[in-house]
Amino acid sequence: MGKMIGIILTGHGSFPEGLLKSVELIAGEVKQIEVIPFEEDKDSLECNIKDALKRVDTGSGVVCFTDLAGGTPFNVASAMSSTHDNVHVVGGTNSPMLLSGLFQRELAVNEFVELVMNEGKENIKQFEVKEKRQPTKDVDGI
């Protein structure tokens, strides 16, 4: 396997671990990814993300997926991206964007970020009833 984009998945509480488990049910085991939950303090989070960057960066770039744009994990990762080349941050992570990204990790990191952002937005949908159906009755009329 050639070089691929490294992924850091971070967010409040069990969000990152839960999201990874969810996408692994669909895609199988994911390699070159680090899960960093934000449960303690900002300094611990910062240290954990710095360590994770070293482990997942193989030279193709790293994308930090975070739960909330503007939340502490997003802000800490963003501060790091401003001092590290080829580290990008995406806030508002959802399952479709992460899942799609897992299969596109050979792309240039800028293309990858554009792709996952579009996937995330395009897969937010509301169920709409086209035509109301009448409820069906039991055979016995009960």
What is the overall mean pLDDT for the chain?
Answer: 94
Give me 11's structure tokens: 């967010």
Helix (H/G/I), strand (E/B), else coil: 141: coil
Q: What is the mean pLDDT of residues 97-113?
A: 96
What is the C-alpha to C-alpha distance for residues 35 and 55, in angstroms, rounded to an integer?
Answer: 12
Superfamily of domain 6-122: Phosphotransferase system, mannose-type IIA component (3.40.50.510)
- Helix (H) or strand (E) segment spanning residue 81: helix 72-81
What is the C-alpha to C-alpha distance for residues 128 and 8, in angstroms, rounded to an integer?
Answer: 35
Phi and psi (nearest 5°) for 20? -65, -45
Q: State yes or no: pLDDT of 114 exceeds 90.
A: yes
Residue 113: per-residue pLDDT: 97
Q: State yes or no: pLDDT of 139 exceeds 80.
A: no
Confidence of residue 135 (pLDDT cuts 50, 70, 90): confident
Cβ proximity of 90 and 77 under 8 Å: no
pLDDT tens per residue, range 37-50: 999 899 999 999 99
Confidence of residue 2 (pLDDT cuts 50, 70, 90): low
pTM above 0.75, yes or no: yes
What is the C-alpha to C-alpha distance for residues 36 and 13, in angstroms, rounded to an integer?
Answer: 9
Can you give the residue ranges of every domain in the chain? 6-122
**Which amino acid is present at 81?**
S
Cβ proximity of 23 and 98 under 8 Å: yes
Radius of gyration of the chain from Cα atoms? 19
| Distance (Å) of CA 112 to CA 9, 54, 72, 107 | 15, 20, 24, 6
What is the C-alpha to C-alpha distance for residues 108 and 37, in angstroms, rounded to an integer?
Answer: 27
- Calculate the CA 61 to chain-centre distance: 15
